[in-house]
Structure 1
Amino acid sequence: MTTDNGSSGDIGATLRVAAAQINTSVGDIDGNARLIEEWISLAQDQGADLVAFPELTITGYPPEDLVLYDNFIAANKAALNRIAAGVGNIVALVGYVDSEVTESGTKLYNAAAVIHNRKVVTTYRKIHLPNYGVFDERRYFTAGNECPVISIRGIKVGVNICEDIWEPIGPSEVQCANGAQIVVNLNSSPYESGKQGDRVDVVTDLSRRNRVFTLYTNQIGGQDELVFDGGSMLAAPDGELLGTAPRFEQSLLVADIDVNALEDSRTKHQSFAVPQDDLDKIGQPTTIEIVQTPAKSRPALQPLTVHSLDRLEAVYRALIVGTRDYLKKTRFKKVAIAVSGGIDSAIVTAIAVDAIGAENVVGVALPSRYSSEGSVTDAEDLCSRLGVELWNIPIEPGHSAFEEMLSEAFEGTAPGLAEENTQSRIRGNIMMTIANKFGWLVLTTGNKSEMATGYATLYGDMAGAYAVIKDVPKTLVYELCRHRNNRGPGSPIPNAIIDKPPSAELRPDQLDEDSLPPYDQLDRVIHMYIEERMSPDLIVEKEQALGKEGAAESVIRRIVRLIDINEYKRRQSPPGVKITGLAFGKDRRLPIASGWQK
């Protein structure tokens, strides 16, 4: 049903479509507009009749409370008009914030402008507004009520946005009932491990049940906690996935679509089986004619390819992109990392080097009286392999000074956790002072297992600007270290770091397992309680089913209590890359003061 992408095809019988998978920056309206104009030109060079950009391309996604400022909305509309003024024969679908003044006030819409021949021909306003997880769209936007179909040389194209295709009956069904042969869906869908498979299922199912081609375009890049991985795609009316764009990189997915073969199956069009009353509840169909001059010739295209990434490589790339773009979009160039010789700081250092280059990373060893000799030599080995400069700043003078300052106040008490955590807070102060002095950012090294249970020190190892592995469980940290070594070049993370038992080294012979259960048990319980939102009783049942491998009930209830009582710590932690189905941050919003007993 598509022409051979290796040939020019029958121009009169096809529509050449392009998905522009680009990296926008929230709030950089002028920069985003220039990027859109650049990629429209690239699509024109490929002979595209239509090019689709991601959701809210002009503002960047998610713009959050920026949309509540009238000058922001005005600037985004002005940028749309500038873009439109430069668009000729090609049809460009561009995401922006539309607005409308009503008697009850100004309404905002998550919208897609259809641009052709130097003007906005029509606008689609998103109908299904997600309001779960990291999404807050009902806080800002009003749902649209029209389902436009644009007719380009008689080829009918339905346009909608992101969540609209995740509903069993949505704008696509209305548009297909109105004759749409192609559905184009604009997205800003954030990465989480395994989600690309879900997207493929949604897109191919939409095509299959509606007998329609579906072009899905998604953005890439990092924005605070979120990373967007692209994976733009084209699906055929039989549900076949015809091709995808590479993930985590800017790309233009271009394909020729021949809709003639569709006509034989239109009577089997699934949307016609949807009751009209159900379609009417979604929105009203409209059709807009676009007079486009067909190209006399156009370049041959490369064959479509379905790109894939294994689980660990996808996670690792997400961490790289999130770190790189956080620095780029906050306009910082250099980072400092407290390199302890442990596995968490090792993977964070490797990610930072891969994201921004070794010349922009400074490691800081901060040994104490309890640090093993191996922790210092392992830190030196790691930084040497990665080409990172390492500063060695022993904390003993500060530690002794703190003990002396507090001796009178603490007189008559037994040394304990407060004294141990003093070391971590000294380190946090040193790291923040270094960053302050040189205008760098501190990358923290705490993982999800530690963030969940509070096995971290406020104003100590939690001090910093960005928590790279905040959503990475400890067991996954080990997997990523081995993956990074296999990824090459070389093996930057010494086996001595991977193999040694983890320790905070805040007292003699300390090991993590003294305070926490085995990490395989801990991470399972955290996953079930945080991401699956299971009750402690259900978690106990699940773990008991594992026999000897399962966590004891007392261990489970202790983990749950640790998670609950450390909510206040997590509220004060830096943002970090979201990679799981539910990360600490925008994803999880629980009260700190709560009387709920589980």
Structure 2
Amino acid sequence: PFGVDLLFTDSKDMTFGVEICEDLWAVTPPSNHMANNGANLLFNLSASNELIGKHEYREELVRTQSGRCMAAYVYASAGVGESTTDTVFGGHAIISEYGSTLAQNERFSLESNLITADVDLERLRWLRLNESSYSDGRRKKTRIIKVGALPSISKLERDINPMPFVPSRYAEKKHRCDEIIHIQAHGLIKRMSHAHIKKAVIGISGGLDSTLALLSTHRAFQMMGWDVKNIIAVTMPGFGTTSRTKSNAIQLCEALGITLKTVDITDISLKEFEAIEHDKDEHSITYENVQARARTSILMNMANKEGGLVIGTGDLSEIALGWSTYNGDHMSMYALNSGIPKTLIQYVIEYYKCNESIADIIDDILDTPISPELLPHENNEIIQETESIVGPYELHDFFLYHFIKYGAKPKKIRFLASMAFAGKYNEETITKWLKLFLRRFFTQQFKRSCMPDGPKVGTISLSPRADWKMASDADVEIWLKELS
């Protein structure tokens, strides 16, 4: 049979269609209709000749068509040996998936060559389920031809990026960081302008999250020509605060020229312990949460007094894990970091080192262990390191990305993580932290259901008003069983 209405399917994961040469150049390529009717793998057999610069345009066409169709696109052109008369062929071969080129060959080879790439059809199916633009396409009548099922695989050819939120190419750093900062800053500018608020109030600890929130708030004020003295940074030392983090917080505020206030929460917390009859020497969750809520209460009340907006500092990774105190650091008036995961926060903060006046401070902040500093320190050293409790953030961000972005099931996430972190984490370690991630992600949804507004920065958001709708009492057990 012939025709652009033919689709070949294994009735499980794969459905493919074939178009010819300049079909791809058409205003409405046949592959559009094939994709609308379920084809997730598109082939093009072509006789596209070589002209100066044409191969770049051809690769862009293939890549963008794979993105538009939410599919994989496999392109193969006539080889050098088929050149004739005034026409020269280069044998260009390309494999693209959802807007990214996975593989392409060296043109003008006198020998036959073959390129291969791994294509994730499950990922493409999930994208189509979640992208509303895909369901808008009109479907046409097609003829279906059954083919054999694809074989299962045990290893991949393609590289799996262990840091999917972070740009892999250094050349992208300035552009990507500028974009993130602008999204944060302009989101805050709009909120403050709309509410006719002139001051921002932010708790500053000397840690990663509060540092980025402060720097982005400062950038917003600079963009608008607002007086940075109207940024009120509050450092609130408690039982676990070390001189290192407190010093970094103070030095950063002084370098930025903002207003700095210090409110020691030790006495406030002791009075709260006494009020609820909690032993101050019992270092339980209650001991920690009393301090977290004391800090939030101070910030809210200070904002009330000053007519300011409380800037939230919690990041996307913490929101996913529920690593916050309900109605404590969980709450703010604008959650500036809520769209940025921890691994990306570290990346953006490092970008601010271009400001030489704060470069050394940032270096030390980046070098400081991640900690809420809620348990008493020992000899002025942090004893409560977050990643020793909940696991490495680089793993959790990897889990989050593949779980939310592509709907990967636990077994697949573990398989991909084993590839991405080969030599760093073994399967047992990955399974341990993946189970913790899933358990916390499901049990902590109630916090996300009432989280404050914050700017969506990347393709993943856990805001109940944006992309994430989930019941607070969803059952995690079926997901954990996959890892047994």
TM-score (norm 1): 0.48
Query: Which residue, out of 196, 208, 230, partners 1:331?
Result: 196
**1:94-114 deviation digits (Å, cap 9, x = unpaired):** xxxxxxxxxxxxxxxxxxxxx
1:570 maps to what in 2?
A: 448
1:390-405 equivalent positions in 2, closer than 5 A = 390-405=260-275
One-letter code aligned to 1:553 = T
Deviation, 1:485, is 1.8
> Paired residue for 1:507?
375
Corresponding residue for residue 548 of structure 1: 423
2:392 counterpart of 1:518: yes
Matching residue of 2:284? 416
Aligned length: 309
- Deviation, 1:415, is 4.0
CA gap 1:412/1:519 in 2 versus in 1, 3 angstroms: closer
Provide closer, same or farther for how the CA distance between residues 391 and 475 of structure 1 changes in structure 2, counting only shifts above 3 A.
same
| Pairing 1:347–2:222 present | no
> Which residue identity does 1:330 align to in structure 2?
A
Task: Give deviations 1:101-143, integer Å, cap 9, x for gaps.
Answer: xxxxxxxxxxxxxxxxxxxxxxxxxxxxxxxxxxxxxxxxxxx
Relative distance call for 1:516 and 1:279 in structure 2 (3 A) is: closer
Distance (Å, rounded) in 2 between the aligned partners of 1:465 and 1:205: 38
**Structure (1 or 2) with the greater strand fraction:** 1
SS in 2 for 1:593: coil
- 1:582 offset after TM fit, Å? 1.9
Greater Cα offset, 338-347 or 487-496: 487-496
Asked whether the equivalents of residues 529 and 560 of structure 1 are also in contact (C-alpha less than 8 Å), the reply is: no
| 3-state SS of paired residue (2:441) | helix
Equivalent residues in 2 for 1:15-414, closer than 5 Å: 168=32, 201=64, 310-357=175-222, 358-407=228-277, 410=278
SS in 1 for 2:391: coil
Paired residue for 2:23? none
**Contact 1:531 / 1:582 at 8 angstroms: preserved in 2?**
yes
**Secondary structure in structure 1 of the residue aligned to 2:416:** helix
From the superposition, tell whether residues 280 and 429 of structure 1 become closer, same or farther in structure 2 (CA, over 3 Å). Answer: same
Q: 1:372 to 1:394 in 2, by over 3 A?
A: same
The residue type paired with residue 440 of structure 1 is G
Q: Aligned letter for 1:462?
A: H
Look up the equivalent residue of 2:398 and give its one-letter code: R
Determine helix, strand or coil for the equivalent of 2:240: coil
DSSP 3-state at the match of 2:180: helix
Instruction: Kindly indicate whether the alpha-carbon contact (under 8 Å) linking 1:359 and 1:388 is maintained by their aligned counterparts in 2.
Output: yes
Aligned partners of 2:311 and 2:332 also within 8 Å: yes
Give the secondary-structure state (helix, strand or coil) at the position aligned to 1:552: helix
| Aligned partner of 1:592 among 444, 466, 472 | 472
Deviation at 1:592, TM superposition (A): 1.0
Q: Which residue of 2 aligns with 1:254?
A: none
1:160 alignment counterpart: none
CA deviation after TM superposition for structure 1 residue 492, in Å:
8.3
SS of the counterpart of 1:534? coil
Counterpart CA distance in 2 for 1:205 and 1:450 is 33
CA distance in 2 between counterparts of 1:392 and 1:502 reads 21
How far apart, in 2, do the equivalents of 1:309 and 1:347 lie? 16
CA distance in 1, matches of 2:321, 2:140: 49
2:183 maps to a residue whose letter is A
Using the alignment, how far apart are the partners of 2:331 and 2:389 within structure 1?
22
SS at match of 1:311: helix
CA RMSD in angstroms, aligned pairs only? 3.3
* CA distance in structure 1 between the aligned counterparts of 2:460 and 2:358, rounded to whole angstroms: 33
What letter matches 1:479 in structure 2? Y
- 5+ residue gaps in structure 1? 1-163, 170-196, 207-277, 282-307
**In structure 2, how many angstroms separate the alpha carbons of the residues matched to 1:594 and 1:279?**
35
Contact 2:230–2:259 under 8 Å retained in 1: no
2: distance between equivalents of 1:205 and 1:532? Answer: 17
Shift in alpha-carbon separation, 1:489–1:328, aligned structure 2, 3 A: farther
Cα distance, 1:523 vs structure 2: 1.2
Post-superposition Cα deviations, 1:419-478, rounded to whole Å, max 9, x if no partner, equal 211100000111111111221110011111111101111111122111111111111111
Structure 1 partner of 2:49: none
Separation (CA, whole Å) in 2 of partners of 1:412 and 1:579: 41
Q: 2 CA distance for matches of 1:465 and 1:494?
A: 26
- Counterpart CA distance in 1 for 2:353 and 2:324 is 27
TM-score w.r.t. the length of structure 2 is 0.58
**Structure 2 SS opposite 1:336:** strand
Tell me which of 436, 442, 452 is aligned to 2:304: 436
Give the 3 Å change call, closer, same or farther, for CA 433–279 of structure 1 in structure 2. Answer: closer
Amino acid at match of 1:336: V
Unmatched 5+ stretches in structure 2:
1-27, 34-59, 70-137, 142-172, 223-227, 377-382, 480-484
Task: Give the secondary structure class of the aligned counterpart of 1:475.
Answer: helix
**Distance in 2 (alpha carbons) for counterparts of 1:205 and 1:396:** 57
Q: What does the per-residue CA deviation read over 1:164-212, in whole Å, with 9 as the maximum and x for residues that have no partner? A: 9xx947xxxxxxxxxxxxxxxxxxxxxxxxxxx99x947x999xxxxxx
* Deviation per residue, 1:277-328 (Å, 9 max, x gap): x7999xxxxxxxxxxxxxxxxxxxxxxxxxx972222222222222222222
SS across alignment from 2:269: helix
Give, in whole Å, the separation in 2 of the partners of 1:549 and 1:467. 33
Instruction: Supply the AA of the counterpart residue of 1:589.
Output: K
Query: Residue 233 of structure 2 aligns to a residue in which SS?
Result: strand
Partner of 1:467: 335
Q: Residues 543, 441 of structure 1: CA spacing in aligned structure 2 closer, same or farther, 3 A cutoff?
A: same
Write the deviation string for residues 320-379 of structure 1: whole angstroms up to 9, x where unpaired. Answer: 222222222232221100011111111110100110242321100100122111222111
Task: Report sequence identity in percent.
Answer: 24
Could you tell me whether the CA contact under 8 Å between 1:432 and 1:463 is conserved in 2? no
Q: Which of 549, 557, 560 is 2:435 aligned to?
A: 557
Using the alignment, how far apart are the partners of 1:510 and 1:311 within structure 2?
Answer: 32
1:396-422, CA deviations, whole angstroms, 9 ceiling, x for partnerless residues? 111110111122xx5799541122111
In 2, the alpha carbon distance for the partners of 1:205 and 1:566 equals 35
SS in 1 for 2:423: helix
- Give the partner amino acid of 1:381: Q
**Using a 3 Å threshold, how does the CA distance of structure 1 residues 495 and 413 change in structure 2: closer, same or farther?**
closer
Q: CA deviation at 1:488?
A: 6.5
Residues 361 and 594 from structure 1, CA distance in 2 versus in 1: closer, same or farther, beyond 3 angstroms?
same
- What is the CA-CA distance between 1:541 and the residue it aligns to? 1.3
Superimposed CA distance per residue, residues 539-578 of structure 1 (whole angstroms, 9 cap, x where no aligned partner): 1111222423345212111111111111001112211111
1:364–1:392 CA contact under 8 A, matched in 2: yes
Q: Provide the rounded CA distance (Å) in 2 between the counterparts of 1:205 and 1:341.
A: 44
1:539 aligns with 2:413: yes
